[in-house]
Amino acid sequence: MSIARVFVCALVASSGTAFADTYSFLPLTNNSAASTLAGLGQLFVDVNPAGTGQIAFTFRNVGPAACSITDIYFDDGAYVSGIFSISSMPGVSFSPNATPPNVPGGSNASPAFSTTVGLSADSNPPAQPNGVNPGESVVLTLNLQPGKTFADVIAAMNMPGDNFRVAIHVQGFANGQSESFIHNVPTPGALALMGMGGLLAARRRRA
């Protein structure tokens, strides 16, 4: 299965509601090819404005393979200052400050992924049942740093290198393995579509 994603531009609706910027993930670890492929095909994060001075990240597991997002990490406090709230559906339960404090396999990123203190969360015990399993989601709303905007965060997420990055640790694969993933930076062609100004919004979806 190709992990490439394409961006589709659409006019912002007259209500002012725009599409979320949706990102897939790339592997930081590869303990099992089957687990890695499952994660690539069914794990996503939607990024939305969330009121004045805030930004929301919705982590989704669309299934069908068994796996659970159990840890969430952000690595650049220059854009956000901390977690404002965590909202989840029944069966999902998260708290701030993940254990371990940095995403497993973070050293495999280039440059290495280093979680900013206070910018992580994990599922409450029992970790796998309370994580984001197939058909479930969790929303982390973060406070923006003074002077930073939703557009600043998206721009940083869309640039390769040591910018604003999002990583997850996933457990509960059918083979008993766990894997870590980092958000997928869009291709240069997709970035060109995103530069069309405030009247256009972009979203990712499967090719």
Confidence of residue 2 (pLDDT cuts 50, 70, 90): very low
Q: Does 8 or 28 have the greater pLDDT score?
A: 28
Would residue 115 count as lying in a domain? yes
Asked if pLDDT for residue 38 goes beyond 60, the answer is yes
Would residue 10 count as lying in a domain? no
Where are the strands (E) in 62-197, listed by range?
A: 68-74, 80-88, 94-96, 120-123, 136-144, 166-171, 179-183
The pLDDT tens digits for 157-180 are 999 888 899 999 999 999 999 999
Distance between CA atoms of residues 121 and 123, nearest Å: 7
Neighbours of 136 (CB within 10 A): 20
Q: What is the pLDDT of residue 188?
A: 56
Of 90, 35, 92, 28, the C-alpha closest to 65 is 35
Q: What is the pLDDT of residue 187?
A: 66
Would residue 193 count as lying in a domain? no
Distance between CA atoms of residues 161 and 78, nearest Å: 15
**H-type helices in 65-169, by residue range?**
127-130, 150-157
What is the tally of structural domains in the chain? Answer: 1
Would residue 15 count as lying in a domain? no
Confidence of residue 51 (pLDDT cuts 50, 70, 90): confident
Query: In sequence order, which residues have a C-beta less than 8 Å from that of residue 125 and are 6 or more positions away?
Result: none
| Mean pLDDT taken over the chain | 84
Q: What is the pLDDT of residue 189?
A: 46
Would residue 76 count as lying in a domain? yes
Would residue 205 count as lying in a domain? no
Would residue 121 count as lying in a domain? yes
Strands 166-171 and 68-74: antiparallel
Domain residue limits at 39:
23-185
Query: In sequence order, which residues have a C-beta less than 8 Å from that of residue 31 and are 6 or more positions away?
Result: 177, 178, 179
Q: What is the pLDDT of residue 162?
A: 80
Would residue 11 count as lying in a domain? no
What number is the average pLDDT over the span 13-33? Answer: 76
The pLDDT tens digits for 106-162 are 999 999 999 999 999 999 999 999 999 999 999 999 999 999 999 999 999 999 888
CATH number at residue 66: 2.60.40.1170
